[in-house]
Amino acid sequence: MYHQVEIVKESVQTEPNVFDDMVINVGPQHPATHGVLHLVITLNGETIKKVEPHLGYIHRSIEKMCESLSYRQFIYSTSRMDYLSSHINNHGCCLCVEQGLQIEVPPRAQVIRVLMDELTRIASHVLWWGAMAMDVGALTPFFLSFREREMINDIMEETCGTRLTMNYMVPGGVMTDLHPNFQRSVNEFIRHFKSKIDEYDELVTGNIIFQNRTKGVGVLSKEDAISFGVTGPAARGSGVSCDIRKIYPYEIYQQLQFEEIIETAGDSFARYVVRLKELRQSMHIIEQLIDNIPEGDFQAKTKAVLKLPKGEFYSRVETARGELGVYIVSEGGTTPYRIKFRSPGFSNLSALDHMARGGKIGDLVAMMGTLDLVIPDIDR
């Protein structure tokens, strides 16, 4: 009898425990990660216990490369970080160099820069809207979003010569003047987009299935958003006032009328709503400027070879994903001694584990989607 009991106990112990944790890998080649992001996820059933991002698949040592480039050349390396905010990344670098050299940017160049920034923001948010809807199962919005984004890309191509990494900003202004068709093309786009953004709301925002997939999912409190250093729409969806254009205005933003969009729910739907409303604000900014571009120079006169004085310089701009900080240490030479980029995606990703714990594996894609991750911005 004793041996029989022991045999039963052994058989029970060798049966798999249905409550054991399971570890699964998502990525690095996975459509919902929007790049080579590898997530090691610990599950208990369908409940997420831990999300551990593994980075390094696209690391190019951009900061170290910048330290071997001149103060004109390094700017364009940042186009390859958050490639959907390339204009704005370049803008932040130019502001840092201009601060060190005390360059006064002509009014025309300032207006052109802001116009390009806001067109970039719209193009980025529109692409995000289509990809976000596709991630949760709606394919049609992805094709519609490219309809509007192509119009902006055509405008960029006429003036800048390229459609993604424009390399248009230079210390002191912009590389070339606007194309003669620029104002007409932008006005046509704004007229077109005003009706289409209502279509976006009707198709996705008001969709009950989409709301069920995002409301109450991936909640991030205001305190936690601040603690993790989250910025941009992801933070403003949690009630954090962090729009650099408002709190640390640069160029002519302090002269413009626009609202900082803040939602307080802190869930995936709130982060979605912030970006949709920001599209309308960017259109409002463009409308204030497009027919009031001042005459004059599009670039300040600068030396062929730039040398920043010895010291430390820092600038910050509001990209489509949040705050980009550019930190330069100069020893007085023609190349930086040290460059550091504070990219928004890295800090925003750090909050994913906290947001996901206790949630369902099926909701992880919605959480990642509303963080709007661009992996080269994280893995520099």
Confidence at residue 5, expressed as pLDDT on a 0 to 100 scale: 37
Confidence (pLDDT) at 306: 92
pTM of the complete model: 0.91
Query: What pLDDT does 3 receive?
Result: 41
Contact 372, 321 (CB under 8 A): yes
pLDDT single digits (tens) 103-158:
999 999 999 999 999 999 999 999 999 999 998 888 889 899 999 999 999 999 99
pLDDT of residue 317: 97
At 12 the pLDDT is: 42
SS3 letters across 188-242: HHHHHHHHHHHHHHHHHHCCHHHHHHHCCCCCCCHHHHHHHCCCCHHHHCCCCCC
What is the fold of 61-378?
A: Cytochrome-c3 Hydrogenase; chain B (1.10.645)
Q: What is the pLDDT of residue 58?
A: 86
| C-alpha span between 221 and 228 (Å, rounded) | 11
Residue 217: its pLDDT value, please? 92
DSSP characters over 82-105: SGGGHHHHHHHHHHHHHHHHTPPP
Structural domain boundaries in the chain:
61-378
Question: What's the pLDDT score for residue 18?
Answer: 52
What confidence tens digit (pLDDT) does each residue in 236-249 have?
A: 999 999 999 999 99
Strand partners, 329: 312, 338
pLDDT tens track of the chain, all 380 residues?
334 433 333 444 444 455 688 999 987 887 777 888 899 999 998 999 999 999 888 888 899 999 999 999 999 999 989 999 999 999 999 999 999 999 999 999 999 999 999 999 999 999 999 999 998 888 889 899 999 999 999 999 999 999 989 899 999 999 999 999 999 999 999 999 998 899 998 899 989 999 999 999 999 999 999 999 999 999 999 999 999 999 999 999 999 999 999 999 999 999 999 999 999 999 999 999 999 999 999 999 999 899 999 999 999 999 999 999 999 999 999 999 999 999 999 999 999 999 999 999 989 999 999 999 999 899 87
- pLDDT value at position 2? 36
